[in-house]
Amino acid sequence: MENNNSQLRDLARLGGILYLIVIVTGIYAEIFVVSNLVVGNDQTTTANNIVSHEALYRSGIIAHLLTLVSSLLLLGILFRIFKSTSERLAMTMVIFNVVALTIEAVSILYEFETISILKSKMMAGVFSPDQVNSLAYQSLKMQTIGYDVALFFFGIVCCFMSALILKSKLYLRWVGLLMLLAGVCYITNSLASFISPAFRRSLLPFILIPCFIAELSFSINLIVGPRTIGQLDVPKFAELK
């Protein structure tokens, strides 16, 4: 049984490392790539930025792919940890997370389409430069919409994570409450982008700060593990079979 507990702790630590990878790659792709290259409502400047910094743009796509792979592995680990707490809740979390990751994967295809349009000689021979830039920009907007939809479902996932953390007592209670706040912020951010983009712009980046704090706290708590924190219910790990 002790060996099983040790394996689960090691699995949780791996999950924490994967979560850190998700956080780092997500921040890199969205802040250091997309925010630097995309100029709102300026199709020509955005297109020129992407073409001039193609390597940076493609590195953002790779970062998104790493986020997906790490998220899938993390999902399996979280299900393994929390399934004895409530298999129904854990499975529901998995379903919503799979939906979120599927939508995010589709949105990445629009990133590939954007650079493909801008680099296509066939497009350049048929359409004017402004028309090519417009097509590429619309593809990029579809990627943004898809990403916002994915974050809406991930917000629901965060709420289920919160419920599992609080119910299991394996990790710090305030981390579970922070994950609930993160879920509410993600859902609010996505709904605002659909209903009132102008209002959503006024919320950024402040509405996403609680999400960063919550997810970073949970990833660190996974790495540290319940053994190191006295107030956690360590024997619960023995039930995770």
Higher per-residue confidence, 180 vs 170: 180
Q: Which two tokens stand for residue 143?
A: 């990627």
Enter the DSSP assignment of 171.
S
Question: CB within 8 A of 46, min separation 6: which ones?
Answer: 37, 38, 39, 133, 136, 137, 140
What local confidence, expressed as pLDDT, does residue 212 receive? Answer: 96
What local confidence, expressed as pLDDT, does residue 235 receive? Answer: 39
Nearest-angstrom CA–CA distance, 55 and 47 = 14
Kindly report, residue by residue over 112-162, the tens digit of the pLDDT: 999 999 988 777 777 888 888 999 999 999 999 999 999 999 999 999 999
Kindly report, residue by residue over 17-63, the tens digit of the pLDDT: 999 999 999 999 988 998 889 887 888 899 999 999 999 999 999 99
Residue 73 CB burial class (10 angstroms; 0-12, 13-18, ≥19): middle
For the entire predicted model, the pTM comes to 0.87
What residue segments make up the domains of the chain, in order of their start? 2-228
Nearest-angstrom CA–CA distance, 2 and 119 = 57
Kindly report, residue by residue over 93-118, the tens digit of the pLDDT: 999 999 999 999 999 999 999 999 99
Picking from 80, 103, 100, the residue whose alpha carbon sits closest to that of residue 90 is 80
Torsion of CA 107, 82, 80, 233, to 10 degrees: 140
Nearest-angstrom CA–CA distance, 47 and 181 = 36
CB atoms within 10 A of CB 64: 23
Kindly report, residue by residue over 178-223, the tens digit of the pLDDT: 999 999 999 999 999 999 988 988 998 899 999 999 999 999 999 9
